Amino acid sequence: MEWIFYALVLAAALVLLSKARKNETTRSTWNAPTLKTTQPKAQEDEKKPEQSKGAKKWDDGYKYAPDEAWPFTKRRLITDTEIVLFERLKEALPNHHIFTQVQLSQMVSIKKGHSFQRWFARISRMSVDFVVTDQNLNTIAAIELDDKTHYMDEQRQKADAKKDKVLTAAGIRVIRWRCEVMPSTEQIALAFPEA
């Protein structure tokens, strides 16, 4: 009977020891980010190659060296498929202007009496593939060139429906064409009888 008592005491001691170690590990992990390192300056620079002596710290926490090369490269505004449609749009609508990758926030405004921040936040990252305007730069239509993802991805469909609702509410006609059956120059002209 006595050995059961000692076994229970030993088990309790092991549990307490285990909890103490766990708390110590948690505490040291919790404090780890706030500890200051005492590494030599050269070693710090090796770990952070983009930060150099001339670096400035900005409110957003990023650092950059104004005299060094920045990590940007030029890219095209539209894809190869969109270039094909762009050329056809120019040919079919010679008296119109064609703009690519236009933000919705540049095409619509929020009616007075409604929260600008609330409604702007809903559209701030949305854009359309093409915008067709007349010679006076009045918007005639927004054109979207949809690939398979627009029909297979539920999230994409919801985003498309939201975009269409915004444009329709603003009185802008939305035309959607599929990449697989891209319209000919003649079909584009028929879609714009006012041209």
State in words which class domain 80-191 has.
alpha beta
| Pair 146, 177: CB distance under 8 Å | yes
Alpha carbon distance 104, 107 (integer Å): 5
Predicted confidence at residue 138, as pLDDT, reads 95
- Runs of H (alpha helix) within 32-130: 41-47, 80-92, 104-107, 116-123
Higher pLDDT, 43 or 168: 168
- Which of 128, 106, 105, 107 is CA-nearest to residue 117? 105
- Per residue in 84-124, pLDDT (tens digit) is 999 999 999 999 999 999 999 899 988 888 887 888 888 88
Report CA Rg, the chain.
Answer: 30
Residue 148 has pLDDT above 90, yes or no: no
Alpha carbon distance 83, 91 (integer Å): 12
Rounded mean pLDDT, 142-149 = 90
Kindly list the domain boundaries of the chain, sorted by start residue. 1-29, 40-70, 80-191
- Looking only at the bridges linking them, the beta strands covering 127-133 and 139-146 are antiparallel
Alpha carbon distance 189, 58 (integer Å): 51
| Pair 104, 127: CB distance under 8 Å | yes
What percent of the chain has pLDDT above 70? 67
pTM: 0.63
Strand extents, DSSP E, the chain: 56-57, 63-64, 97-103, 127-133, 139-146, 173-178
